[in-house]
Amino acid sequence: MNKRHSWEKRIEQLQNEKNMTPKQAKILQAAIELFARKGYFNTSTNEIAKLAGVAEGTIFRHYQTKKELLEAILAPAIMDFTATFFVDQFIADAIHTSHKNMREFLEAFTRNRFEFARQNTPAVRILLQELAFHPDMQETIKQLFMKKIYPRLTKVLVHFQSQGELKDIEMPAIIRMMISPILGLVINRFIIQPHAEHDDEKEIRQTVDFIMNGLGK
């Protein structure tokens, strides 16, 4: 409980970026905690207000609706997640330099997503939980994936196929099989068993090995 999670730093950053009032920060923090713990529909604005130590009306001064509060929590995480695919070194390098092979790329990718999940655990949890119930969010995510992530990933993976490092299977299948174990790793680590002992290094290596053996030539 008192252990300081790395995502708590992340939330502080968030608060500083947009210069919020202390009360607004409290509201955001309370909402994140409650949404993550009990879900969006199961959390009342009254509860959020109480946990944040503000009047209920204060919530609605800063966020017009409860839904907007949810979006204020998820939007930055989603944007961060997407941004990675543009600026991060590992993508650019994979294509433009030749000294990186498939394994190095996969490891960088896995570590990167792993750290993202560590730093955004509550948002990731909320996103996973709520995605099913908010068709507008589904559409947003779908668009994001199809337009930003899928093409970039494909570009890299096709490159490795041409290098003979990756099996000649249809891209959707490759991506699904590559992502599944990474998601399995991350979700188990941060969502299902966040309090269990984990040898992160070892688990990451095992997962990368598994995918490499499964998909490599």
Residues that bind a second copy (CB under 8 A): 38-39, 41-42, 128-129, 132-133, 169, 173, 176-177, 179-181, 183-185, 188, 203, 206-207, 209-211, 213-215
Task: Find the shortest distance in angstroms from Cβ 19 to DNA.
Answer: 10
Beta-carbon contacts of 123 under 8 Å, excluding residues fewer than 6 positions away, are 7, 32, 73, 74, 76, 77
Is the CA virtual torsion 99, 101, 106, 111 positive or negative?
A: negative
CB nearer to DNA: give 48 or 174: 48
**String marking each residue 42-61 x if it binds DNA according to CB under 7 A:** -xxxxx------xxxxxxxx
Distance between CA atoms of residues 105 and 174, nearest Å: 15
Considering the complex, what minimum distance in angstroms separates the CB of residue 60 from DNA? 3
Identify what 211 binds: DNA, a second copy, none; CB under 5 to 8 Å per kind. Answer: a second copy
Beta strands in the chain (DSSP E): none
Hunting for tokens 């948002």 — which residue is that? Answer: 123
135 near DNA, rule: CB under 7 A: no
Contact in structure between 34 and 48 (CB atoms under 8 Å): yes
When asked if residue 23 is in the footprint of DNA (CB under 7 A), the reply is yes
Instruction: Pick one of DNA, a second copy, none as the site partner of residue 210 (Cβ within 5 to 8 A by kind).
Output: a second copy
Backbone dihedral angles phi then psi of residue 168, each to the nearest 5 degrees: -90, 70
**Nearest approach, Cβ of residue 87 and a second copy (Å):** 27
DSSP β-bridge partners for residue 166: 216
Site for DNA contains 15 (CB under 7 A) = no
